[in-house]
């Protein structure tokens, strides 16, 4: 099946899932995770009407953003301090910020290229030691710190659920949605409350659970690009 056929089929399934969950399909974006594919597949994806792509390595992010500068690029991978300038220069949205001390570097990098950098805070909801992300208790510290940085805009939260257990995945996603709601209430009246609305959660295996619990961005790699998924 072509990328276009898979994308159209997925988008229809996503729309149906939204309606069944009582949600407006236009509130859920599909981020195409292109980390395993090259420029030919990207070209095909763009022709199919996909315009938001996610990469998890800074070098590939920059390379692909330069090859397809008209498209929107998101960074979804592990962040190292020394790569922040590169990541900021190429990303519309960084999904995976969880070190409080990275905020100052994102601020100075964004300022140097004259942009306001949209970010999400990655939360380790499941508590698995192998997963990265803020502990839920660290969320306030990070949000408070972000108030010092005019070139950083925290737009929401992101998480990765444990693989292979959809019941557990749903519990994690529901908890992330609860945390977003709690933060919106607790920062009401500040710029944080008005900006905080995105929930980046759900991948090829668990996007349905994510939509049912409030995802606004689902990150799809294999379901979109792999014929044998
Ligand atoms: C690879 C990756 C995805 C996509 O995973 P699939 O299971 O292929 O859909 C989503 N989010 C992150 C952070 C990833 O690294």
Q: What is the pLDDT of residues 53-110, one digit of tens each?
A: 999 999 999 999 999 999 999 999 999 999 999 999 999 999 999 999 999 999 999 9
Ligand 1 neighbour 35 (Cβ under 6 A): yes
Ligand 1 neighbour 133 (Cβ under 6 A): no
Ligand 1 neighbour 108 (Cβ under 6 A): no
85 exposed, middle or buried (CB, 10 Å; 0-12, 13-18, 19+)?
Answer: middle
Q: What is the pLDDT of residues 10-24, one digit of tens each?
A: 999 999 999 999 999
Ligand 1 neighbour 220 (Cβ under 6 A): yes
Q: Which residues pair with 217 in a beta bridge?
A: 29, 200
Q: Evaluate if pTM is beyond 0.95.
A: yes
Ligand 1 atom showing the smallest separation from residue 220 Cα = 9
* Probe target for ligand 1 pocket from 203, 222, 229, with the most ligand atoms within 8 Å of CB: 203
Q: What is the pLDDT of residues 106-138, one digit of tens each?
A: 999 999 999 999 999 999 998 888 889 999 999
Ligand 1 neighbour 159 (Cβ under 6 A): no
pLDDT of residue 228: 85
pLDDT of residue 91: 98
Ligand 1 neighbour 57 (Cβ under 6 A): no
How far apart CA 11 and CA 3 sit, in angstroms, is 12
pLDDT mean over 177-185:
97
């Amino acid at each position: 099946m072509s990328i276009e056929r898979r994308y159209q089929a997925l988008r229809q399934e996503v729309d149906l899932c939204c309606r069944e969950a009582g949600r407006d399909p236009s509130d859920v974006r599909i981020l195409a995770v292109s980390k395993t594919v090259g420029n030919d597949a990207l070209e095909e994806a763009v022709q199919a009407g996909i315009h938001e792509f996610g990469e998890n390595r800074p070098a590939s992010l920059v390379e692909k953003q330069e090859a397809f500068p008209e498209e929107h690029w998101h960074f979804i991978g592990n962040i190292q301090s020394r790569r922040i300038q590169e990541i900021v220069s190429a990303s519309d949205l960084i999904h995976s910020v969880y070190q409080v001390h990275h905020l100052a570097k994102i601020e100075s990098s964004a300022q140097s290229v004259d942009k306001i950098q949209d970010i999400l805070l990655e939360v380790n909801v499941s508590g698995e030691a192998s997963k990265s992300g803020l502990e839920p208790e660290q969320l306030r510290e990070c949000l408070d710190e972000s108030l010092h940085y005019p070139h950083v805009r925290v737009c929401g939260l992101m998480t990765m659920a444990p693989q292979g257990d959809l019941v557990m995945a749903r519990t994690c996603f529901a908890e992330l949605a609860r945390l977003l709601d709690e933060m919106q209430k607790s920062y009401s009246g500040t710029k944080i409350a008005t900006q905080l609305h995105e929930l980046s959660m759900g991948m090829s295996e668990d996007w349905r659970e994510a939509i049912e619990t409030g995802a606004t961005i689902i990150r799809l790699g294999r379901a979109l690009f792999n014929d044998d998924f």
